[in-house]
Amino acid sequence: MSTTTSNESASRGRAPAGERIADWADGRLGIYSLAKSNMRKIFPDHWSFMLGEVCLYSFIIIILTGVYLTLFFHPSMNEVVYHGSYVPLQGQLMSEAFNSTVHISFDVRGGLLIRQIHHWAALVFLAGMFVHMMRVFFTGAFRKPREINWLFGFLLFVLGMFTGFTGYSLPDDLLSGTGVRFMEGAILSVPIVGTYLSFFLFGGEFPGGDFVARFYSIHILLLPGIMLGLVVGHLILVFYHKHTQFAGPGKTNNNVVGMPLLPVYMAKAGGFFFLVFGAIAAIAAVAQINPIWAMGPYRPDQVSTGAQPDWYMGFSEGLIRTMPGWEINVWGHTLVLGVFVPLVIFPLVLVAIAVYPFIESWVTGDKREHHILDRPRNAPTRTAFGAAWIAWYFVLLVGGGNDIWATHFHLSINAITWFVRIAFFVVPVLVFIATKRICLGLQRRDRDKVLHGRESGIIKRLPHGEFIEVHEPLSQEQLHTLTAHEQYKPAEIGPTVDENGVERKIKGSEKLRAKLSNAYYGEDNQIPKPTVEEYKEITSGHGHH
């Protein structure tokens, strides 16, 4: 009743300070309404859901350490003579960029640590995004309504690659300069406009005196700015869609089962940030990364052996190393296929995985929302495609490190290169077939488990001397979990005649869709999950053996 409440508040005196601050903020920002739907928001629990968190936290670490580095780094290519405390470089000519990076590493206390945390966090960030993306892919979490968030994540991965590349090019050391020169060569290969693009990027002839300053603004402002926006959008969508969950007792497509943000996930996720940061700091304490002082300043006429980009650029390196050096010269022009083809395939490799959700939704024709995750085995074609894509990626990584493979395993570099050239086409196909087989095998196993129970390991001797293994029936919870997934029926081409009996034209896209749908959900491409009738028929006989 209103009178008693006003009495009570009067007797208590003023509200506590925290509440008064919250009231103040609510009157301006509406935080109570925001908190009503979000403070106790439910998040489901599964170890794989933390992969995205790793990315978020390493991104924050990168921003924090990156801001620190900008306080000391000079993005300039003016030549200076080194007079710092690292003796082997003293008296040497180098750009200010290189000079200031050496200064950070040797003369700023803790500067080396922050540099190494920054670089390690970048590697973790990219690796985390890769694995997170695979988690989302193999569990079908990209399905409606999350396709846009899939694209946000994909863009973050691609932009992360380029932010990383522009970042490690900044110190203007011998290794990264070689990478930039490679980039120049790749740009030159673009037909018609390549030389112009290169001259505009480098402010004239390579290397010029501009690219460090330009990469700097791209690395610290343009790309991270876009990425920050995408990260925020990504998170807003995660909150808005509510997190996906695996099938299980009590979990449906219309609910989300888990624990509330406040306090459990506040503590777990907040704590996890510190775990990630702590782990990366410890790595940076003991594992040296990018020792630019050992490589020396960049000189276009010098190079070290074993030159490798950071791992996430490795697959593009594989493309460039294994492509045969085709060049076509006609009418006074050169088409540099040996470099341009890899440059075109590079984005295509990435786009192949990015567009997959749209292809699958076209094949299934499914317009419903999906919040229950698939087990990878229950989507064999998707899983096989994803595995094939990873295999493709890794074949290219091998190609990108062909010299490392050759020296570490005493193999012929020519043999490795030829292996990669062939494997580029063959391995994804083999992996696709093998993965699909494995998925179907696992589906059969699930079917057996549901119908015949779990192998208990207990051997029983029957009165007439026969030995059998006792199978332990599953609980209803397990039965439900193993049979909760949906199985699509292959799409069929509709009636070939219309209602007037006139033959209608079947579009090529329709035929393709029916074919693909059959490849996904046809008879041999998924194992029918057990039905209740089958289950009853088999279990009813159990007591009478």
Residue number, 476 or 496, with CB nearest to another protein: 476
> Residues 332 to 351: which contact another protein by CB under 8 A?
332-339
Minimum separation from the CB atom of position 451 to another protein (A): 11
| Minimum distance from residue 499 beta carbon to another protein (Å) | 29
**Between residues 261 and 431, which has the closer beta carbon with respect to another protein?**
261
CB of 113 to another protein, least distance (A): 5
Using CA atoms in the order 181, 185, 187, 193, what is the torsion angle rounded to 10 degrees?
130
Pick 47 or 509: Cβ nearer another protein: 47
Question: Based on CB atoms, which residue is closest to another protein, 131 or 264?
Answer: 264
Q: Which two tokens stand for residue 539?
A: 């279990």
- Of residues 371, 372, 355, 374, the one with CA closest to residue 363: 355
Residue corresponding to tokens 């979000």: 38
**457 lines the binding site for another protein (CB under 8 A):** no
Nearer to another protein, 305 or 509 (CB): 305
Q: Phi/psi at 45 (nearest 5 deg)?
A: -110, 130
CB 309 within 8 A of CB 167: no
Residue choice 479, 491, 516, 527 for contact with another protein (CB under 8 A): 479
- Give the per-residue contact string, 394-413, with another protein (x = CB under 8 A; - = no): --------xx---------x
> Looking up tokens 């290519």, which residue turns up?
77
Residues 255-294 that bind another protein (CB under 8 A): 255-260, 263-265, 267-268, 270-288
In a 3-state reduction of DSSP, which class is residue 376? helix
For another protein, the binding residues in 55-94 under the rule CB under 8 A are 79, 85, 93
Cross-strand pairs, 469: 459
SS3 202: helix
The SS3 assignment for 155 reads: helix
Q: Is 41 in the site for another protein (CB under 8 A)?
A: yes
User: Which residues inside 365-384 make contact with another protein, applying CB under 8 A?
Assistant: 369, 371
Nearer CB in complex with another protein: 332/495: 332
Does 352 sit near another protein (CB under 8 A)?
Answer: no
- Tell me the residue type at 476: Q
The contact mask relative to another protein for 516-535 (x = CB under 8 A, - = no) is ----------------x--x
Scanning residues 416 to 445, which ones bind another protein (CB under 8 A)? 417
Taking CB under 8 A as the criterion, the residue among 35, 39, 158, 303 binding another protein is 303
Q: Which is nearer to another protein, 272 or 518 (CB)?
A: 272
Residues in CB range of 235: below 8 A, 6 or more apart = 56
How far from 486 is each of 446, 480, 483, CA to CA, in Å?
14, 12, 8
**Interaction between residue 451 and another protein (CB under 8 A):** no
In whole angstroms, how far apart are CA 83 and each of 93, 388, 542? 10, 52, 86
Check if the beta carbon of residue 149 is closer than 8 Å to that of residue 232: no
Site for another protein contains 42 (CB under 8 A) = yes
User: Identity (one letter) of the amino acid at 296?
Assistant: G
CB of 10 to another protein, least distance (A): 34
How many whole angstroms separate alpha carbon 244 and alpha carbon 141? 7
Kindly state the smallest distance separating residue 251's Cβ from another protein, in Å: 8
Nearer to another protein, 273 or 394 (CB): 273
x/- binding map, residues 161-200, to another protein, per CB under 8 A? -----------------x--xx-xxx-xxxxxxxxx-xxx
d(CA 122, CA 111): 17
**Nearest approach, Cβ of residue 222 and another protein (Å):** 14
Q: Residue holding tokens 């903020």?
A: 25
* The binder of another protein chosen from 60, 80, 294, 473 (CB under 8 A): 473
Please count the residues of this chain forming the interface with another protein, following the rule CB under 8 A.
Answer: 139
Interface residue with another protein among 150, 206, 293, 315 (CB under 8 A) is 206
300 contacts 181 by C-beta, under 8 angstroms: yes
128 in Cβ contact with 54 (< 8 Å): yes
The residue with tokens 């406040």 is: 262
- Chosen residue from 151, 440, 474, 514 binding another protein by CB under 8 A: 474
Residue of 534, 532, 531 lying closest to 487 (CA atoms): 531
Do the strands 79-81 and 454-461 form a parallel or antiparallel pair, or are they unpaired? unpaired
Q: Which of residues 219-248 bind another protein (CB under 8 A)?
A: 240-242
Q: How many CB atoms lie within 10 A of CB 153?
A: 23
281 vs 514, beta carbon nearer another protein = 281
